[in-house]
Every structure is written in structure tokens, then in C-alpha cells.
Amino acid sequence: KHHLYGFLSVKKKFSSGHWLKLVTKKIKEIIKKNKIPIIVGGTGLYFKILLEGVSKIPKISSIKRNKVLKLYEKIGPDLFYNKLLKLDPKVFNYVNLNDKQRMIRSYEIKYYTKKSILDWHKESTNALVNFNFVKIFLNLEKTKLHLRIEKRFQSMIKNGAINEVKKFLKDRKSTRLNS
């Protein structure tokens, strides 16, 4: 049985912290049934917070977050990046110029909490330290992997992926307009 997959609308706000709470509860439920939970897929971020926890950064209001976003849009990525590095030099090796989301997040955290995002990360909590995880990494030969990706991609197109993306973009756009 699959859990926490395809369960949330793109219209809902969701964070890795929310996911950690849900997955922790789900893991405990599965173990109570004398079963072994298997965590697969997703991004490295989710595996990282599952093993290391999440940073307890104070909530920053959407009004403040929008001010930082507007500043980014007004001055552009190059100037914003320079401004970020002046505000928080610690993030030099953590944030790169092409990572808009991480730049904005790092800036807002330092600006409004007076503390670097890296310092908050050092204080991560809520890791599932009472569990023994076995990590398995599958490493397929590149040529075979690319053939499988191409086959899977063609199957997705054939089964309606383009319409699914159009719907996602439409839903996402309407969510942004309403927030």
C-alpha cells in the first residue's frame, strides 16, 4: 500500500515540515501493525529531513515574504544575490545565483530573524532518531537508465501527462491569484 502519495492538491500550501509530521505519524502506524515502512522516491530534501530533522525557523508572515520577493523582482537576481551576500556572507557556498527560491528564503530569514539560515539549520530538530534506517541507493547504468526514462516519458505522454500539466498550471495560477 502507498501512503502520502498524490494526496494533496497543488492549491494547498505544504512544507517539508508538514510532510515530516505526516510521515512520522505514518511510520509509527505502520510499525504498530508489525510491518516495515519503506520510504521511496521524492527529493533528497525529504530523505534529509527524515534523517536529520527540520530547522525551527520562526514563521515569517506572507506580507514580509512578499516584500522580499518584490525586492528580488525589482532588482533582479544578480543584484539581489550581492545584497544577500552582504546581509549574510555565510550563505556564499550554500546559495547560488540560479537558485531563486533559496536566495529569497535565505534573505528573508536573515533579514527578519537576524540569524543566518545556516545557523538555524545547525539547530535542526524532530529527526526520527529512534528509528534505524537502512539506506539503499539504486544505481543503474546510465545508458539503460536513459532508455527507461525515455520509455517512461513516452508512456506518460500517451497517458495524458500534457493535460495533467496544463491543469496543474491552471490550478497553480488560480491559487496564486486568490492568495
Mean of the per-residue pLDDT values of the chain: 87
CA 89 to chain centre: 23
Whole-number pLDDT of residue 127: 59
* Closest by Cα among 124, 44, 48, 107 to 73: 107
pTM above threshold 0.75: no
Question: Grid coordinates standing for 168?
Answer: 496543474
Single-letter amino acid, residue 173? K
More confident residue, 81 or 122: 81
* Beta carbons of 109 and 120 less than 8 angstroms apart: yes
Question: CA-to-CA distance for 84 and 70, rounded, in angstroms?
Answer: 14
CB atoms within 10 A of CB 92: 11
